[in-house]
Each structure stands twice: as C-alpha cells, then as structure tokens.
Amino acid sequence: MRIWRALKALGCMALRDGAYLLPSGANHEQALQDLADECSREGGSAWLMAVQPRSADEAGAYRRLFDRTKDYAELRKTWKGANRTLASLAAPEIARLQRKLQREYDAVRAIDFFPGEGGVEADAAWTDLNKRIEGVLSPDEPHETEGAIPRRDASQYQGRTWATRRRLWADRVASAWLIRRFIDREARFQWLAKPSDCPESVLGFDFDGATFTHVGNRVTFETLIASFGLECNPMLMRLSAMVHQLDVGGEPVPEARGFEAVLAGARERLPDDDALLTEISTVLDSLYAHFEREAARAKP
C-alpha cells in the first residue's frame, strides 16, 4: 500500500496490475528506482524499464493516460463547495482552507505532465476563487477609476502620513514598501478598519476615493510607479507584474506563487500590520536585489 501511494503521488498511471508508466526524465527515473530498491529490501521484486512507443498513435495513447481533466474537474467541484461556505467562516478558517486547497491544486499540477484545456480552465477557476476569498477578507477592495495619472513631485510628499486598509495583502504591502523605499523614506502609516476612517490630512492609497488607487487596468502599486515617474526602473516593473497578477490576475509571473506563499504565512503569524510590513519589506528587498542582479547579467 505504501508503494502504491508513492506511485500515485508521483503521477504514475497503471498499464495493468503491477505495471506503471511515467514520462521519462532523470528525476522520475531516480524516484522509481528508489521505490524498486524498497521493494527489493522488503523481499519483493521490481524492474525499471524504458518503454518506447512504436507509432504516433501509440505515443498518443500513452499521453492520454495522463489526462488530468477529471482531476481538475474534481478540484473545481471542491472549490465551488468551498466558495459557498466562505461567508460563514472566520478569517483564520478561510486562511487554513485556502492553504489546504492550494496544496491539493499544487499536487495535481505537479503531475500534469501534458497540460491541456482542463488545466487552463482550472487556473482561471482558481484565480476566481482567490479573488472571492480576498473579497471576503478585504470587502473594501477598490474599483477601477478612469482618467490620466498625474505626474507628481516626490519632494512634495516627504515625511507624510499614508493610510490604507488594514490586514495588508499583495498590493497594499508592496505599495507601502514602494512608498517608504522610493518615494517618502520617512513615511508613517495608518492601517484603517474601513476607508471612511481616513483623515483628510492623510494620503490614502488602495481604496475607493484614495489619492492613489486603481486607475484603468493598473493596481495601486502600478499607479504609484506612474505617478512618481519610476517606470524606468526595470526591477520595479518586474515587481509590478508580480503584484498585478496577485491582485487582479493576468499573465503568470514565476515569482508570484512563492511571494504569495510567504505573504500568506506571514499574515497568519503576524496580526500586527507594522510587523507584517517590516517582514515583507525584507522579502521585497531581496526580490529587488535578485532582479537587479539578473538585469546586470543580461547587459552585454
């Protein structure tokens, strides 16, 4: 049973009882060899063989064995059920549920060796569910506004108090980091229970009616970059793509999933938003340094 569970976790598909198929690759071969060695140590027998299809039809048949459409359909069914319960759950319960569903989704994606339409549809459904979760946790998420983004002089925004909604998530925590590092190094922050609590003398960001918020298809982080003329910074532009995806979806960004996991874990550990900003600022500093090194290497 232990061997069978390990084969299933690897994504193996049964050709018949006792015969399992897995796409070729060094990591797969080593994992199967480890299981074969375990069988031998337990007094059983196992053989590791390389199988080559004899025709295009046979190759297609092998690939179809690994179709994960049903797995994704089961996940989407689970997500629909979870979506119906969100309003009745407390924030910690929602966070735990989200992590559980993320693990299940990651497990299927890890063994989706030949991605197809089912994976694309699941990705869209997963994005929608996470937006719903964020909507429950942050009901005051700003709406898009129209119009041009005026250029502002950072020298006129020094030593100010800035305010946004408490329980920071991707756009808000990244915007606060951007403000303190590139716009107003002496910035002070207030975390609002609701946007209407924002004093008139304070610079609001990332809520409806704030000085800086979503404009067109730009999230607040992108609006701040445009407002203060920071678009020429390639590291910030890479960060903006990551924040955009996490906040409203869009083109996948390789670093987004890791940053999202770190942020979710930090938010679970740190109920204080000042502490959360301090910790995530270190992560953003590290990502910025990583992008900066990559940019330097890319130069001729």
From CA 149, how far away is CA 227, in angstroms rounded?
Answer: 6
Is the CA virtual torsion 246, 289, 291, 177 positive or negative?
positive
Cβ of 273: how many Cβ atoms within 10 Å? 20
Q: What pLDDT is stored for residue 90 in this prediction?
A: 79
Q: How far apart are CA 96 and CA 102, in angstroms?
A: 10
What pLDDT shows up at residue 100? 92
Under 8 Å between Cβ of 195 and 208: yes
Distance CA 38, CA 30 (A): 12
User: Pairing mode, if any, of strands 161-165 and 188-192?
Assistant: parallel
Please, what are the averages of pLDDT over each run of 10 residues along the chain (300 residues)? 88 87 88 90 89 90 92 95 88 85 93 92 91 77 84 96 94 97 97 93 95 95 98 97 89 90 90 96 98 88
CA-closest candidate to residue 281, choices 179, 131, 135: 179
Q: What is the pLDDT of residue 250?
A: 80
**What is the length of the chain?**
300
Environment class of residue 166 by beta-carbon count within 10 Å: exposed (0-12), middle (13-18) or buried (19+)? middle
Q: Residue 9 corresponds to which amino acid? A: A
Do the beta carbons of residue 124 and residue 151 sit within 8 Å? no
Q: Do residues 110 and 11 touch, judged by C-beta distance below 8 A?
A: yes
Reported pTM: 0.61
The pLDDT assigned to 268 comes to 86
**pLDDT given for residue 300 in this prediction:** 73
Angle at 253 between CA 252 and CA 259, to 5 degrees: 120
